[in-house]
């Protein structure tokens, strides 16, 4: 089982409009809603890959109730871990902790003329000390049955900035590999707790290290405490600096589309490859293929399975020599 933690879950609303014009009224041509937040997005992709997943974090209020109803409607027929592309999805189990506050909404407005997306993100509910303690207890129970854990996304109001560091330490105590995917001060604090992996994008990496050159910044991030750093470089793919070596993976060609959720699909690729025991090059191939297939999907945050299966063998891998000592 793979555990994903989303402290700031969301009800994701996507509106499609023929053209987004500032200061104008728009007629929505299509609308969708689904359970969201980075860890829930990761879980949905893991499910599609055949991995049984448990999600925890916070949900509350009327919005939280809708989120949980939608989560319950996800497929529950399990082919087992390591399923090949094209198999039935595996179950996603709801282990969210109920809070008094209302789960936030995120609103994405997709301009169909250009493919651009405008995102509006609410801050999330105020979480109390008792609710945080309940989450910690639930998390430690779930770690006992987890093969890997992903800690994903922003912190809701009321949660202390070192929360992810606390969750990383608990996973390490339990002997469960942990991937941290957040930004800003929560990432800075979390990396000091020595997670197995972090997955910053280029902007998050620059904010963490102060550097923009990918190789130097990624190595710098690893020296700050992470065992492995997987940097998302957008259309240029991913750079992995790990104890086992350094690799860069890139899609066969640059693509146009909606990048919403592409990073979450990459996390799902990395985690599924980890629990399946794949080599680093194969993990990166899967992560880049899933990320690119998400950009190509007509629905924001989903991945195009046909594109994924076509891209997977075509992702290029380059191995880099380690830095001279």
196 is catalytic: no
Q: Which of 264, 282, 302, 304 is catalytic?
A: 264
Helices (H), the chain: 38-48, 61-72, 129-143, 163-174, 184-191, 202-209, 214-223, 262-276, 280-296, 305-311
Sign of CA dihedral 303, 309, 311, 315: positive
Q: Which of 63, 135, 127, 124 is nearest to 95 (CA)?
A: 135
CA atoms lying within 13 Å on the CB side of residue 301: 23
312 contacts: CB under 8 Å, gap ≥ 6: 85, 285, 286, 289
Vertex 66 angle, CA 39 and 14, to 5°:
70
The catalytic site residues sit at 264
């Amino acid at each position: 089982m793979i555990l994903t933690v989303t402290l700031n879950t969301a009800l994701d609303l996507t509106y499609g409009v023929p053209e987004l014009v500032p200061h104008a009224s728009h007629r929505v041509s299509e609308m969708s809603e689904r359970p969201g937040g980075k860890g829930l997005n990761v879980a949905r992709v893991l499910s599609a890959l055949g991995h049984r997943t448990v999600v925890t974090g916070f949900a509350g209020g009327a919005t939280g109730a809708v989120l949980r109803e939608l989560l319950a409607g996800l497929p529950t027929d399990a082919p087992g871990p390591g399923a090949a592309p094209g198999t039935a999805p595996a179950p996603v189990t709801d282990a969210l902790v109920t809070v008094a506050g209302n789960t936030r909404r995120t609103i994405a407005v997709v301009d169909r003329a250009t493919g651009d997306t405008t995102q509006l993100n609410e801050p999330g509910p105020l979480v109390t000390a008792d609710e945080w303690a309940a989450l910690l207890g639930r998390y430690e129970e779930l770690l006992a049955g987890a093969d890997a854990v992903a800690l994903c996304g922003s912190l809701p109001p009321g949660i202390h900035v070192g929360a992810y560091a606390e969750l990383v330490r608990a996973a390490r105590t339990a002997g469960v590999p942990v991937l941290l995917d957040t930004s800003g001060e929560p990432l800075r604090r979390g990396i000091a707790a020595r997670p197995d992996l972090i997955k910053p994008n280029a902007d998050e990496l620059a904010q963490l290290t102060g550097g923009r050159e990918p190789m130097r910044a990624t190595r710098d991030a690893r020296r700050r405490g992470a065992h492995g750093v997987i940097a998302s470089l957008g259309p240029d793919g991913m750079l992995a600096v790990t104890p086992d070596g350094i690799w860069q993976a890139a899609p066969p060609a640059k693509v146009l589309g909606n990048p919403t959720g592409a990073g979450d699909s990459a996390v799902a690729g990395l985690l599924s490859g980890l629990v399946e025991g794949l080599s680093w090059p194969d993990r990166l191939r899967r992560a880049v293929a899933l990320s690119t297939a998400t950009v190509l999907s007509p629905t924001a945050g989903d991945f195009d399975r046909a594109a994924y299966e076509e891209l997977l063998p075509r992702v290029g891998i380059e191995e880099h020599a380690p830095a001279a000592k």
